[in-house]
Amino acid sequence: MDVDQATQIDLFALAPELAVLGASLLVLLIELFLHGPRKRFVNPIAVLGVLVAFGFVVALWLDGAQRSSFGQMFVVDDYALAFKGFFLAVALFVLLISYRYFSEIRTFQGEYYFLMLAAFLGMMLMPSARDLVMLFIALELVSVPGFIMAGLRKFDLRSNEGAMKFFLFGVLSAAVLLFGLSIVYGFTGTTTLEGVAASLSAGEANPLLLAATLFVIAGFGFKVSAVPFHFWAPDTYEGAPIPVTAFLAVASKAAGFAGLLQVTFVAFEPLADVWAPVLGVVAILTMTLGNLTALTQTNMVRLLAYSSVAHAGYVLVPFAVVQPGDAALNADAFSAVLVYLFAYGAMNIGAFAVVIAVARRHPGRRVSDYAGLGQRSPGLAVALTTFLVSLGGIPPLVGFVAKLAVFFVAVEAGTTLGIVLAAAVAINTVISLVYYLRVARVVWMEEAPEPEPEPVQPGLALGFTVGGLAVVTVALFVLAPLLWGAADQAVLIASG
């Protein structure tokens, strides 16, 4: 790479990341000088940092120019800004649902918010990374804080177990990913995504190179908990503090998909003949296994964990219909992934927010704890039902829009695999409704156990999150064309 170019740093392009970085350091240092219950005031500092970063993202979007730093390693374009805006919105909600949870645990608050912001820093680097090395750094910056955050409930054995499994799987997949990247670099002689694509379309496919692309995809498959690599997910989700679970299920997964989008749609696009069918099989396995296992769960967090595995399967469907050189189809597939991720983020964080609110009264988090929630806390019950029905993909909620986008692109491809995938999505949607609606039935139709538990009081931050996301879940259905338009704007495919 040109040294002069690599030393060019565009501070405005980096401003959102710098804001998050500054906030994370401030949080870590300020917490040291606060005592007792005052430690919880680091949360507003973190929220402020996220809002400032969001302001910078909006400013960059208004500016409109494509900017780059470090010689094309870090690029700010519509795609990057769309994901950054999404991640910052998710960060805001995750911080809001963390506030009371962590101020009641009363430990590691500075470290928790520091790690959370560091992970979000990695996520914001991810969509801007147009270089294999930068992608790897971003992915690790998302993963490593996650390992620690999953184990923050040190007094709980399940938290320790979950963090340990997450760590071991994470390290293994990082090694596999790095091995794949090194082979890709060896064959193509470049680490930039576009350079890799150009080199791949020029040369003929070598079996080792094909194996290397699958290694890379497997590395990201761990992050998004696709089926052969999903074993860590349920245990980690169950053991981790619930806000961290929401973070892992939405933000960390979306970051994995962002990286996967860049690697598959840009760098490995010429080899789509090979990896697309593989991802198709993975998609079918992921959604089917996730949904079938979720059917038998009695623990609410585990149910949502398996549901999140299943949703990773739906998001993988558009990847499977990619065809090398077919720019129109690939653009549609790309925007379907974006639509699904954005919709999934809104409804899933909402569901976890309700679980946090209820878990304060019922630490067991059993599905049966939700009996009679409709009478006790009608607001929360309505919101929870909205999120679950939306996750199931029933109109008039955003989950339907997301499922439709994925379904359409599978049909549009017109291949046998596309038809099979569309059928699999339809069948799985029906299976998933069984367990989503089972929870809704418990909430509304079953009597609360005697003696009647006290009503759940979510508090201001949590209440705002639940209410706000419920509104978003409905509003994004009405404004679906807007969501589609935004996703179409943000498409990033191999320039060819």
Partner 1 sequence: MTEYYESYTTVFALLAAGILLVAVAFTASRLVRPDRSYGGKLSTYECGIDPVGQGWSQTHIRYYLFAFLFVIFDVETLFIFPWAVVLGEAGELQPFMLGVMLVFLFFVTLTLPYEYKKGVLKWA
Cβ 4 to partner 1, closest distance in Å? 9
The residue (of 70 and 436) whose beta carbon lies closer to partner 1 is 70
- What is the biggest distance separating any 2 CA atoms in the chain, rounded to whole angstroms? 73
Cβ 29 to partner 1, closest distance in Å? 7
| 8 A C-beta contact, residue 407 and residue 425 | yes
Quote the CA–CA distance of 117 and 129 in Å, as a whole number: 18
Question: With CB under 8 A, what is the number of residues at the site for partner 1?
Answer: 7
Cβ 161 to partner 1, closest distance in Å? 21
Segment 406-435, which members bind partner 1 (CB under 8 A)? none
Segment 124-163, which members bind partner 1 (CB under 8 A)? none
Quote the CA–CA distance of 14 and 20 in Å, as a whole number: 10
The residue (of 56 and 70) whose beta carbon lies closer to partner 1 is 70
Q: What is the DSSP string of 368-437?
A: GGGTTHHHH-HHHHHHHHHHHHHHHT-TTSHHHHHHHHHHHHHHHH-SHHHHHHHHHHHHHHHHHHHHHH
| 8 A C-beta contact, residue 423 and residue 283 | no
Site string (13-52) toward partner 1, x via CB under 8 A: ------------x--xx--xx-------------------
The residue (of 34 and 479) whose beta carbon lies closer to partner 1 is 34
Cβ 107 to partner 1, closest distance in Å? 13
Grouping H, G, I as helix, E, B as strand and the rest as coil, residue 231 is coil
Q: Does 208 contact partner 1 by CB under 8 A?
A: no
List of long-range contacts for 158-161, beta carbons under 8 Å, 24+ apart: 158/235, 158/238, 158/239, 159/239, 159/240, 159/241, 160/239, 161/235, 161/239
Cβ 9 to partner 1, closest distance in Å? 9
The residue (of 25 and 460) whose beta carbon lies closer to partner 1 is 25
Nearest to 463 by CA among 54, 104, 93, 102: 93
Question: Which DSSP letter does residue 152 get?
Answer: -
| 8 A C-beta contact, residue 325 and residue 458 | no
The residue (of 110 and 318) whose beta carbon lies closer to partner 1 is 110
Cβ 25 to partner 1, closest distance in Å? 7
| Bridge partner list, 75 | 68
The residue (of 29 and 482) whose beta carbon lies closer to partner 1 is 29
The residue (of 18 and 471) whose beta carbon lies closer to partner 1 is 18
Residues in contact with partner 1 by CB under 8 A are: 3, 7, 25, 28-29, 32-33
